[in-house]
Amino acid sequence: MVLYIIIAALIAAGVYAFINLVNRRWDAVIRAREDYDEDVDGKQTKAEKAAFEARKAEEAKLTRMPFGDVYKERPKRFIAVIVWGIILTAFTVWYFWNHGAHISKLIENPAFPGSGEMIHEGQASIPVGIVFILILFAIYTLEALIDLDTMEIPPQLNIGIFVLGLISIPLWQHVTIKERIIGMLCLTVPMILLEFIIPGAFGGGDRRMLYGSGLLLGWKITVAGFFIGAIIQAAIAVFFLVTKKKEWKSHMPFGPMLCLGIMISTMFGTQLIDWYIGILKASMGR
């Protein structure tokens, strides 16, 4: 197992270095759009708006930004993302290998002999379930970075999560069809309805992320991830308000904390939901 963790961590270093490149280029694509406006709070002066419009032309030239220039532009963040990817990957492989029997190994499907384990080396194997989770976490990381930079989540990335969900249906049998359908709708429908009461309460990217995540992970992990992300977001908001770095009406992207919440929930969310349901049942029984 140790060898696989080392190999996975080395691969992650390359993958997350590439995520830095994709992140910066995608930022440029979004910022160069004619309809893109970074003044979500409506507080920019006319001079600041003019400067932003002038930068759009510069951003358009950066949609093919060289790898080396991405590092030179923000070296600390570049390295931080790689370190995050290495730690996240190593911990994920270790955790699901030892504690995630329901996720770390796909259930054998009669239609696909050997589908439970597809990556072999000698007598050992890396369960495909772990590979699914690692791909998902890489997508979440990229979504979080782009949302932090632009307040937008590209729909292509959420389509990627949705496709992972479709692929997992015949293979990942521990998540039932019923759980997947509930997971797709139990949060997105209330969020859509809330939009009629509080316009802009949630972004379309957040909803699409939850829709795809619900299909892939089921309702328990998705719901737990949403509330974990909301708690983290609330704590950060309180910190910014207390330190006066943000005002009460300032916008903060929810996507990054939502991504983090679902990552945490993927490991511990089912246990948290089952524990909470157990408490409710016990209290109702009394």
Distance CA 23, CA 203 (A): 19
Secondary structure of the chain: what % helix, strand, coil (to 5)?
Answer: 70, 5, 25
Q: Is the pLDDT of residue 258 over 90?
A: yes
Q: Is the pLDDT of residue 122 over 90?
A: no
What is the DSSP secondary structure assignment for residue 163, as one 8-state letter?
Answer: H
Residue 185: name the closest of 225, 162, 159, 218 by CA.
218
pLDDT confidence of residue 113: 39
- Give residue 117's region: left, alpha or beta (phi > 0; psi -120 to 50): beta
Distance CA 16, CA 8 (A): 12
Q: What is the pLDDT of residues 129-145, one digit of tens each?
A: 788 899 999 999 999 99
Q: Give me the mean pLDDT over the 49-64 stretch.
A: 80
Structure confidence at residue 115 as a pLDDT band (50, 70, 90): very low
pLDDT confidence of residue 57: 80
pLDDT confidence of residue 25: 95
Q: What is the pLDDT of residues 198-224, one digit of tens each?
A: 877 788 899 999 999 999 999 989 999
Average pLDDT over the chain, rounded to whole?
83
Residue 137: name the closest of 103, 182, 181, 183 by CA.
103
Q: What is the pLDDT of residues 71-96, one digit of tens each?
A: 999 999 999 999 999 999 999 999 88
Tokens of 261: 């919440």
Residue 109: phi, psi to the nearest 5? -110, 125
Structure confidence at residue 160 as a pLDDT band (50, 70, 90): very high
Residue 102: name the closest of 36, 165, 176 by CA.
176
Q: Is the pLDDT of residue 246 over 80?
A: no
DSSP characters over 193-249:
HHHHHSTTSS-HHHHHHHHHHHHHH-HHHHHHHHHHHHHHHHHHHHHHHHTTSS-TT
What is the DSSP secondary structure assignment for residue 66, as one 8-state letter?
Answer: -
pLDDT confidence of residue 195: 83
